[in-house]
Structure 1
Amino acid sequence: MQWSSLPEDLVEDILSRVSATPLVRLRETSKQWNAILKSGSFAMMHAAHAPKEESLMITLIDHRVCLEKINLHDPSVKVAPHALYLKDPLSDSSKEVDIRKVFHCHGLLLCSTKDKRLVVWNPCSGETKWVKPRDTYKKSDYYALGYDNKSSSKQYKILRMDRTDLPLNNVYEVYDFTTNLWRVLGVATDWFLAKYRGGISVKGNTYWVATQAVEKPNHDFILSFDFSTEMFQSLSLPYPFRYGISALSVVREEQLCLLGAHPDIYFWNGGIPLSCLQVWVITSTGSWNKSQAVYNTRRYPSSKGMSFLADEQNKVVVFLNTNNTLHVMRQNKHILEKHLGGNSSLLLNYVPSLAQIQHATLPGGRKRKAPST
């Protein structure tokens, strides 16, 4: 029996059980398959049925998004970088965009460019959406991509915070994909985000390590933004918490975790000083569990600008410090220490997906034209 003779709903069901990367290659083989793979209903079906692809790591090296693959089961531990290509729509040539910051949410990347533009990008499918500002974007802006997790389908939104120095005046606004418009929500004056702090997306919401500016000046805490209610709130820390917050990450794309460490806390093991890195994971009830501790036999690097990933199954912590050195540690052993080259600013989990970038629609089902870049 040929594929063309199969009912379309059966074809959709079969394709929905294939991982994202090979599916993208099939788009060019059939107009029917291409139409199916581009539909929003198929994207939802695929998210529910497809096997999970191997998680990769995203780094940003010399303004290019790269994929780093680490095999933790191989004693040699191989790192294979692959640069992703994002064409500049303002160029007639094949010129690439210089990317300054990257935020990851559900297979989509929100990228701010060196020349102060903003784009949502699915590297797996190649789909992009360039987002025009309400006024102008600034180098000091913070961005986050999330979605309304109370909706039956993912309604994506972008949060922009216009960061200003003293006097503190953080104007925040939301871009709604259903209207292609920005809405100013308010002004925050009691906390700020340091330049080196990045946000983490967990189930559609975003979390940062923020610093209080009023009640307890210079005191760090966890700040979250709920894209469903469009409100900020603070998150309680593990109790008793004896570590400074170095960075936030996500476990299995569904649990927030934090890395607590202090460069001056040491333990001694047979005369060898060990600095402690403690990973905490939040539970569904909002409480925190100690996940794993890693003891570093070397001087702990500065936590400013640090990012990390935690693998609970293999009891491994991967972190990237400010001198662009990637560390892979299991308990008190360095499995890998590798300088990535160039300038890097982040380390994120990435799983290829067919997540679609939503476009605004006009009456009659026509797509609303996005503002030009």
Structure 2
Amino acid sequence: MANMDGRDLSLDLIEEIFSRVPAKSIARFRSTSKQWNALLKSVSFAKKHSANAPKEESLFIMLMDSRVFILKVNLHGIYDGCDPSAKVGHQFNLKDPRSSEVDSQVDIRNVFHCDGLFLCTTMDNRLVVWNPCLGETNWIKPRESYKKTDCYALGYDNDRSYKILRVDRQYSVLTTKNEYEVYDLTSNSWRVLGVATDWVLPKHFRGICVNGNAFWVAARRSFGYFLQSFDFSTEMFQSQSFPHPFPFGNPSLSVVGEEQLCLLGTNSSPYGRSDNFKVWVATSVGTGLSWRNSIAASNRKSKYKSYYVYNFFQGMSFLADELNNVIVYLSLDNILRIVGNNYHTQVENLGGGSIQSCSVLMNYVPSLAQISNKVNSLPGGSEREAPSTST
């Protein structure tokens, strides 16, 4: 019989076994031996694991007080009179490589999720790609400098090579200028791609990733809101269509799992009272989007209606739960709100926790995605900053 540490098993058999283990359980095996650690960190294993491992359950993640937490939400039986519950769970620790203190944490300004990876901007204008499942980071140096007004997205091309899009948003009353560039995590280099002048990415609308590509609600001065996407394979922007007809205003984007684009709209003016929400899900994400109706929420009898449109107009992130036919979001007053068909409730005390500032609510699926083929590890598990390459 093989020993529990696996010394009597061939490395090929160990790889086959681990490729079928959920990602969130893999990390603890890396400390068993240097050989296992090298195997579990390899690109070939990550690809095999992606093909063989069971699909992980999507988790709720929130950015709260500059930290990333799991949010545990129980929606079971809400239409049968059961009260929903929510509790702030595990905190993901993003260590600061510039600090000598063991427990020093980075203050996160914003977070973008793609394929189990987080792209984080920090309060001191740094940029990092982070796999919280593996505890690995890759700090990205700017080609020139980062700005608080920059817009970022993380995605991947047809070869599953990860890239970062940076849009330098320069707006004035008369002019619009979006200089954009891409960072390739395989070559560790920036490339300037071009300048767009006919649209803007409003700061209060969050971008999301679906199947490796990025999406935003964008705007044109004479056209209003539309859907803008960026293809990381062609490295080009493309305008996409909303569902037709689209009578609802104040659009917001989310994602179901990591594969379905989700669009929410409300039926009233930015500062009016809203009676209805409607959610559509994209059934294809090619050159042209196809949409299906998903969740319809009516709240004519709710005493909380005055919050709704204002929150979504400010770009609040949301999650659509099709199984329970509800929309879950955190309002500007940091209260978790759950909206369904003639149903509304709220969870003001998240398991006894006190929320000071929460700006992001999103889905997260743990993965073994590799941050880069060329990241050099430092003692203690931190990572070297990737070099800056001027074009």
Structure-1 residue corresponding to 2:151: 142
Q: CA deviation at 1:246?
A: 2.8
| Structure 1 stretches lacking a partner, 5+ long | 266-272, 363-367
The question of whether the paired residues in 2 share the 8 Å contact of 1:143 and 1:158 is answered with: yes
Distance 1:339 1:188 in 2: 44
Name the SS of the counterpart of 2:24 in structure 1.
helix
The question of whether the paired residues in 2 share the 8 Å contact of 1:301 and 1:321 is answered with: no
The verdict on how the C-alpha distance between 1:339 and 1:165 changes in structure 2, with shifts beyond 3 A counting, is: farther
Structure-1 residue corresponding to 2:315: 305
Q: Which of 191-200 and 45-54 deviates more?
A: 45-54
Q: Which of 176-185 and 46-55 deviates more?
A: 46-55
Distance 2:375 2:297 in 1: 50
Among 120, 124, 131, the residue aligned to 1:115: 124
1:78 partnered with 2:106: no
1:58 partnered with 2:64: no
Structure-2 residue corresponding to 1:173: 181
| Structure 2 stretches lacking a partner, 5+ long | 377-383
Structure-2 residue corresponding to 1:371: 387
Distance 1:287 1:68 in 2: 31
The question of whether the paired residues in 2 share the 8 Å contact of 1:305 and 1:345 is answered with: no
Distance 1:309 1:339 in 2: 19
Give runs of aligned pairs for residues 209-224 of structure 1, distance below 5 A.
209-213=217-221, 215-216=222-223, 219-224=224-229
Give runs of aligned pairs for residues 269-348 of structure 1, distance below 5 A.
275-284=275-284, 286-296=289-299, 297=302, 298-299=304-305, 300-302=308-310, 303=312, 304-338=314-348, 341-348=355-362
Distance 1:62 1:252 in 2: 25
Distance 1:327 1:235 in 2: 30
Structure-2 residue corresponding to 1:16: 19
Structure-1 residue corresponding to 2:7: 4
Q: Which of 159-168 and 277-286 deviates more?
A: 277-286
The verdict on how the C-alpha distance between 1:30 and 1:361 changes in structure 2, with shifts beyond 3 A counting, is: closer
Structure-2 residue corresponding to 1:155: 161
AA in 1 matched with 2:17: I
The question of whether the paired residues in 1 share the 8 Å contact of 2:140 and 2:387 is answered with: yes
- Structure with the greater relative contact order (CA < 8 A, sep ≥ 6): 1 or 2? 2
Q: Which stretches of structure 1, 4 residues or longer, exceed 6 Å deviation after superposition?
A: none
The question of whether the paired residues in 1 share the 8 Å contact of 2:261 and 2:281 is answered with: yes
AA in 1 matched with 2:278: Q
1:129 partnered with 2:122: no
Structure-1 residue corresponding to 2:238: 233
Q: Which of 166-175 and 323-332 deviates more?
A: 323-332
Structure-1 residue corresponding to 2:380: none
CA RMSD of aligned residues (A): 2.2
The question of whether the paired residues in 2 share the 8 Å contact of 1:307 and 1:320 is answered with: yes
Structure-2 residue corresponding to 1:270: none
Name the SS of the counterpart of 1:169 in structure 2.
strand
Distance 1:275 1:51 in 2: 40
The verdict on how the C-alpha distance between 1:188 and 1:128 changes in structure 2, with shifts beyond 3 A counting, is: same
1:262 partnered with 2:267: yes
Structure-2 residue corresponding to 1:197: 205
Q: TM-score, normalised by structure 2?
A: 0.86
User: Over residues 278-309 of structure 1, what are the superposed CA-to-partner deviations in whole Å (9 max), with x where a residue is unaligned?
Assistant: 00011127211111101122312411121111
The question of whether the paired residues in 2 share the 8 Å contact of 1:121 and 1:128 is answered with: yes
Identical positions, percent:
55
Q: CA deviation at 1:242?
A: 0.3
The question of whether the paired residues in 2 share the 8 Å contact of 1:147 and 1:156 is answered with: yes
Q: CA deviation at 1:339?
A: 5.9
Aligned length: 355
AA in 2 matched with 1:68: L
User: Over residues 211-244 of structure 1, what are the superposed CA-to-partner deviations in whole Å (9 max), with x where a residue is unaligned?
Assistant: 113x42xx01110000000000111111111001
Q: CA deviation at 1:369?
A: 7.8
